[in-house]
A and B are shown apart, each in its own frame.
Chain A
C-alpha cells in the first residue's frame, strides 16, 4: 500500500469517526471503561504477585531461639547476658551468640554476625556455642539451603526501618529490646517447608517456628482468584467493546453505502473499501485506550504516592516500571479490540 493511500485511509476513517458523532463517543467510552477495568485488574494482580514473591523471597522459615530449651542446653550459664544490646530480658546464651565474630570456638557460623555491636570477648564459650551449633545443626537438615542467625538488635533495626516515620513508636524498646534472636531459614523448595518445620519443632533451643508459607499460599491463592475473575471480567468487557465498535462501524458502513457502491463501480478493490473501516475501529480503540491509560496512570501515581508515604511496608510496584508497560499494552489492546470489532462488522455488513 502506498503512503498517499494511507493518508486517504486515515482521512476517510477520521471523517467517519467525526460523522458518527455520539456513536463514536459511546464506542470510545466503552473501550475506555473496558480497558480501565483491565488495567486495574492487571495492576492488582501484578502487585499481589509481587507481594507474594517479596514475602516468599524474604524468608521462608523463621525459628525463634527460645529461653527454655536454650537455657537447658547451656545448663549452668543462667547468668545475665554480656551483650550490650540486651541487658536482662532475653536468655543469656542466645543474646551473646550474635557476637560470633569473637567466638572462641571459631565456628564457621559467622554468616550473620556482621553488624552487631557487642563483641563480648569475655562471654563464656558455653554461652554462645549452642547458637552457633544450632545454626550448624539447622543447616545440616535436609532441604535447608541457607540458615542465617539474626540477632535481636538486627531485628529491632529492621523493624525500625519498616516503621519509617513512625519508628518513634518503638520508644523505650530501643533500650529494652523485647525481640528474641532468630534464625532465618531458606528451603530448596516450598513443598519441603513443612518437613523442615517439623524437624525444627523437634529441635532443642528453638522455642517457636514460624513460616510465611501459609501467608504466601493465601496470597498466591488470592492472586490466582483475582486473575481468574479478571480473565472473565476482561473477556466479557472485551466482547462488549467488540460489539459496540462493531455497531459503530456498521452504522459507518450504512452511512457510506452510496460511496461504497461508487467505489465498487469504479474498480476499488475489496481491501481498499474495507481498510478505512478497520482504521476507523482502530482509531476508536486507540482513543479509548488513551483515555483509560491516562486515568490509570494518574490514579496509580496518586495511589503510589499515598502508599509510600503512609504504608511504606507495602511493596507497591514502582510507577516507572509498571506504567509505561501498562499504557503501551492498553494502546495495543485498544487498537486490537477496535480493529477486531470492525473486522467482525465489515465481514457481516459490508457486502464486497
Chain B
C-alpha cells in the first residue's frame, strides 16, 4: 500500500454560508513531502484537520493509512492518531510538564514501559538538540526550542504520517530554517510529511511537491515546485489571486442569499 492519503471529492461545509473545502481530490504516496499553501481561509487547516479526524468531511471519501475516515467509529480514532504525528503553530506543549515529559506523553498514553519511554525520549532529545533542556518547562524555552520539542513529541511514536499546520508561523527566519531542516530530516527517515504553510522561504528551501489551495479548492499540484508559479509577472499573479478570492466570496455570498431567502 504505497498510498497513505487519498481524498476523493471531499467537501467540508460548516454552515450553509461557510464552505471550507469544495470537491478536493488529492493523493499522497508514502514517503512524500507535501506543502499545502494558500492564503488564510483557503482551507489548508481544514484539510489537515480532516486527515487526523479532528473533523469529519461533509461528503467525499478519505482514506488515511488504510483507515476509511468517513466510516471510522469514534472509538477507533485514537488508534488512527497513534500513527500520525501533528505539529501546530502554537506548539501545544503542556506547561506543567518538563520537555522530556512532554515528549514522552504520547508513549505514556499508549502505555509503554518506562524503560522504553526513557530510551526513546533520550534518543529524540538528541535528534532535536534539546538534550540539555530535558528538565526545563516549556515556558523556559525559546519559540524554536518549543517547536523542536513539539516535533519530537509528534514523531516519538514513529508515525507513518507527520502533519504540520503552520509549524514556522510563530518563528523567526533562523528558527524557521531549523524546523524546516528537521522536517526534511524526518521525511528522509521515511515519514510522510504534510506541511500547511504560507512561508515562501520554507517552500522554496526544500522544493518539494506543492499543493496550492484557493477558496477551498486545489488550484495547483506541482512536484519539486516553489511557492509562486512561474508567471508573466507579479501583477498577473496578484490578479489571479484576487480573481479566486472573488470567486470564493461569490460562492459564500450566494449561499448566504439562499439561507436568508429560506428564512423568509
* A interface residues (Cβ-Cβ under 8 A, vs B): 2, 4-5, 8, 258-259, 261-270, 272
Cross-chain contact B111 with A4 (CB below 8 angstroms): yes
Chain A residue contacts of B114, Cβ below 8 A: 4
Chain B residue contacts of A262, Cβ below 8 A: 92, 94, 105
Query: Which of B52, B78, B86, B94 gathers most chain A CB within 10 Å?
Result: B78
Partner of A2, one of B79, B81, B95, B111: B111
Interface of chain B, helix or strand or loop or mixed?
helix
Range of interface residues on B (Cβ < 8 Å): 20 to 34
Q: Which 6 A-B pairs have the closest CB atoms?
A: A267-B82, A266-B106, A267-B81, A268-B109, A267-B78, A269-B78
Bound Cα distance A5, B111 (Å):
7
Can you list 8 A-B contacts with CB-CB less than 8 angstroms, sorted by A residue number?
Answer: A4-B113, A8-B108, A259-B94, A263-B105, A265-B52, A267-B109, A269-B75, A270-B75
Chain A residue contacts of B95, Cβ below 8 A: 258
Query: Which of A258, A266, A269 gathers most chain B CB within 10 Å?
Result: A266
Nearest CB on A from B194, distance (A): 15
Bound Cα distance A272, B75 (Å):
12
Cross-chain contact B111 with A265 (CB below 8 angstroms): no
Nearest CB on A from B228, distance (A): 32
Known: A5-B111, A259-B94, A266-B157. 12 other contacts (CB 8 A): A2-B111, A8-B108, A258-B94, A262-B92, A262-B94, A263-B105, A263-B109, A267-B82, A268-B109, A270-B74, A270-B75, A270-B78
Is there a chain A Cβ closer than 8 Å to B110's Cβ? yes
Instruction: Please give me the residue from chain B that is nearest to A273 by CB atom.
Output: B109
Chain B residue contacts of A265, Cβ below 8 A: 52, 81, 86, 92
Bound Cα distance A268, B107 (Å):
10
Cross-chain contact B92 with A258 (CB below 8 angstroms): yes
Contacts A2-B111, A4-B111, A4-B114 given: A267-B106 contact, CB under 8 Å?
Answer: yes
Bound Cα distance A262, B114 (Å):
20
Cross-chain contact A266 with B111 (CB below 8 angstroms): no
Chain A residue contacts of B81, Cβ below 8 A: 264-267
A-contacting residues, B61-106, CB 8 Å: 74-75, 78-82, 86, 92, 94-95, 105-106
Bound Cα distance A122, B114 (Å):
96
Instruction: Please give me the residue from chain B that is nearest to A1 by CB atom.
Output: B111
Is there a chain A Cβ closer than 8 Å to B153's Cβ? yes
Bound Cα distance A265, B52 (Å):
8
Nearest CB on B from A30, distance (A): 27
Nearest CB on A from B41, distance (A): 23
Bound Cα distance A163, B120 (Å):
79
Bound Cα distance A262, B87 (Å):
11
Chain B residue contacts of A2, Cβ below 8 A: 111
Nearest CB on B from A213, distance (A): 63
Contacts A2-B111, A4-B111 given: A266-B92 contact, CB under 8 Å?
Answer: no
Nearest CB on B from A348, distance (A): 18
Chain A residue contacts of B157, Cβ below 8 A: 266-267
Chain B residue contacts of A8, Cβ below 8 A: 108
Bound Cα distance A268, B108 (Å):
9
Bound Cα distance A261, B113 (Å):
23
Chain B residue contacts of A261, Cβ below 8 A: 92
Bound Cα distance A120, B246 (Å):
127
A-contacting residues, B240-263, CB 8 Å: none
Chain B residue contacts of A5, Cβ below 8 A: 111
Partner of A267, one of B74, B79, B92: B79
Nearest CB on A from B163, distance (A): 10
Chain A residue contacts of B80, Cβ below 8 A: 267
Instruction: Please give me the residue from chain A that is nearest to B82 by CB atom.
Output: A267
Chain A residue contacts of B74, Cβ below 8 A: 270
